[in-house]
Structure 1
Amino acid sequence: MSETRKGPDEADESQCDSGIESLRSLRSLPEPVPAPGSGPSDRGGRPPWTQPPRTAKEPQEKEDADGERADSTYGSSSLTEPLLLLGSPEAEDPAPGSPLLPAGALSPQQLEALTYISEDGDTLIHLAVIHEAPAVLLCCLALLPQEVLDIQNNLYQTALHLAVHLDQPGAVQALVLKGASRVLQDRHGDTALHVACQRQHLACARCLLEGQPEPGRRPPHSLDLQLQNWQGLACLHIATLQRNRPLMELLLKNGADIDAQEGTSGKTALHLAVETQERALVQFLLQAGARVDARMLNGCTPLHLAAGRGLRGISSTLCEAGADSLLRNVEDETPQDLADDVRGINSALLSRISHTHSRDRNC
């Protein structure tokens, strides 16, 4: 790698080169085709999709609360001017399916520049997402082989992971359209859909679930909604823990197993909903068909959890839905044994029995 230029706005020496200097060899690329209807713009001004130079402190603002980096080289300001070589500044947000450059053979030097990988493992596609440059992203998608889309950086993130993480549904749609894999897992075992559920980015999740590759691309990867991350959580489990009903509805609509067990203790979404202590969430899952007496690995049902936590309202809801208060776990305990208020459970059971008998008489 050539030595990085030093400038007054450059971060400290520990910051790695983003590799954009390699774009010098792209000067001989064909001229970009302007988007239909786009008018002339002031070439002297900053393109609308570039970001202003950042200070050395700003990359810290992109960290999660737990210190996890959303990207590898967000603080690099070297994307602002050299990227003018790749995209048309007139097209602020081009349509995802329209290539920016006409088809043409690339020289080995151009291909090498386009497929540059930084010390953090980021490709030019990663960097286009990180720096929110849709024109550059679409240019890369039009020129690069499909396999490049699935390169993972040092955190095992693909560009699709980053697009979801940074809540860029347009970039997600463009990557899915070009056949980016939706099943690759990062270092936490999360797919892009896991990230969408954790971040509660509903629009990105919808693009991942409902988007399809364009004709001519390889068949789409089978999106396994029961796939678990390294914590044993499938996407529905995460959406339930986030108490995000629209995400839960979207996942169930697209085939998520409502009774799938998470990998550590065997809890279903209904168990997790009980643990959130949100009665409306429990009612929603029951109405959606969740098995009321689903068992954990230790034999506990959702009613065991509700009774043990003294959640009278949720216990009543479960009993009204048909929960069996006499089922025993591996410790030979029933929900009644765990309940602080046994009368509350018995009252709910009597109410359910009375309601059933009344319904039978009416029939």
Structure 2
Amino acid sequence: MARHDPHPHPHPHPREALKKDRQLSLVQDDRHDSGLDSMKDEEYENLVRELEDIRLQPADASAPLQNVAGHTGHAWKLQVTEDGDTFLHLAIIHEEKSLSLEIIRQAGRDQAFLNFQNNLNQTPLHLAIITDQPEIAETLLKAGCDAEIRDFRGNTPLHIACEQGSLRGVGVLTQYCPKHQVTSLLQSSNYNGHTCLHLASIQGYLAIVEHLLSLGADVNSQEPCNGRTALHLAVDLQNQELVSLLLKHGADVNKVTYQGYSPYQLTWGRSNSFIQEQLRQFTTADLQMLPESEDEESCESESEFTEDELLYDDCVIGGRHVPC
């Protein structure tokens, strides 16, 4: 889908994104050995060719690296790589669609296998969304996969779809999850304190923002780091279309951050006078002027962010550490 952003930052190929995640995991675990991150391009292509030749057979797996508990039947369910990936994880990572669908079919309703988390706490459903394979995601959901499981960053698959701008992924997840689970997913925050609405707003994906709001996402939800709502984020990003969309859906212009700033107060010193005027007419008089106790330097530290220097202490946006 089109990105409503004056300075778009294209997302990397899914394999590159997975490699970055695994590199981060290796650093955290002080590991320096294998995994997709260390695989040369030629080795990767060889592995893809090997996967193409694989045929699922209920033969005995003579030397599995680990055991996946709770399974019955097929021995291939017990095979796990050193990255914690099952046969299904690998098939999805390498975008082997027919093989992935066959594995899911043969797995039946084996929830332990279908929801198994690798070393990054990613389920096959996470990987189907990361690699933008909505048909695989739909099949997993119909097989009973749990969409509320979190990865190592606290992201559910819906968080990932919103951050990547995958309208198809968002549509599949919200259509095939039970209604009560969709409500829970919309309320859920990842480990950086972002809801799905926050992530879609930060990235400027207007169609996803509108879809989430139509499903009942709280337009005034505050991220716990400093209490910004999606409207505060839209002002920081100077995203005029997003401001208008949020106002149309009832965003509270008088909601303040934990330091007491309204969205209008964050327009001071910004170039977009249209946003400022939009907010001024709805903002109460006491929230239009900056607090007298704040000096110029502290005001700038609260509100003067560029688009590439977003908002949060120790925060990762789009796979990059963002300075505050």
TM-score by length of 2: 0.69
- Does residue 211 of structure 1 match 2:168? no
Change (3 A) 1:231 1:184: same
The 2-side partners of 1:306 and 1:288 are apart by 20
- Does residue 80 of structure 1 match 2:55? no
Check whether the contact 1:241–1:273 (CA below 8 A) recurs between aligned residues: yes
Change (3 A) 1:184 1:330: farther
Partner of 2:236: 275
Partner of 2:283: 323
Which of 227, 231, 235 aligns to 1:266? It is 227
Change (3 A) 1:162 1:333: same
Q: CA deviation at 1:332?
A: 4.1
The 1-side partners of 2:137 and 2:78 are apart by 20
Partner of 2:86: 123
Any gaps of 5 or more consecutive residues in structure 2? 1-12, 26-34, 59-70, 301-324
Check whether the contact 1:173–1:211 (CA below 8 A) recurs between aligned residues: yes
After TM superposition, the structure 1 = structure 2 runs for residues 1-363 of structure 1, keeping only pairs within 5 Å, are 62-64=15-17, 67-69=20-22, 72-73=35-36, 75=44, 76-77=47-48, 78-83=50-55, 111-144=74-107, 145-212=110-177, 223-320=184-281, 322-327=282-287, 332=293
Structure 2 counterpart of 1:306, one-letter code: T
Change (3 A) 1:329 1:298: farther
Question: When the two structures are aligned, how many residues end up with a matched partner?
Answer: 250
The 1-side partners of 2:75 and 2:171 are apart by 34
Partner SS for 2:286: coil
1:69-123 Cα distance to aligned partner (Å, 9 max, x none)? 499548223212123769xxxxxxxxxxxxxxxxxxxxx9962223321111001
Structure 2 counterpart of 1:142, one-letter code: R
Check whether the contact 1:228–1:263 (CA below 8 A) recurs between aligned residues: no
Change (3 A) 1:180 1:66: closer
The 2-side partners of 1:271 and 1:259 are apart by 10
Rg larger in structure: 1
The 2-side partners of 1:252 and 1:222 are apart by 11
Check whether the contact 2:52–2:96 (CA below 8 A) recurs between aligned residues: no
Change (3 A) 1:197 1:331: farther
Partner SS for 2:153: coil
Partner of 1:105: none
The 1-side partners of 2:183 and 2:234 are apart by 28
Structure 1 counterpart of 2:99, one-letter code: V
Structure 2 counterpart of 1:138, one-letter code: L
Check whether the contact 1:129–1:163 (CA below 8 A) recurs between aligned residues: yes
Structure 2 counterpart of 1:82, one-letter code: I
Check whether the contact 1:181–1:221 (CA below 8 A) recurs between aligned residues: no
Structure 1 counterpart of 2:121, one-letter code: Y
Q: CA deviation at 1:139?
A: 2.3
Structure 2 counterpart of 1:244, one-letter code: Y
The 2-side partners of 1:154 and 1:239 are apart by 26
Check whether the contact 2:154–2:190 (CA below 8 A) recurs between aligned residues: yes
Structure 2 counterpart of 1:122, one-letter code: D
The 1-side partners of 2:20 and 2:176 are apart by 31
Q: CA deviation at 1:61?
A: 8.5
Any gaps of 5 or more consecutive residues in structure 1? 1-59, 87-107, 214-218, 340-363
Partner SS for 1:180: coil
Check whether the contact 2:15–2:93 (CA below 8 A) recurs between aligned residues: no
Partner SS for 2:55: helix
Identity of aligned residues (%): 34
Q: CA deviation at 1:276?
A: 1.1
Q: CA deviation at 1:288?
A: 0.9
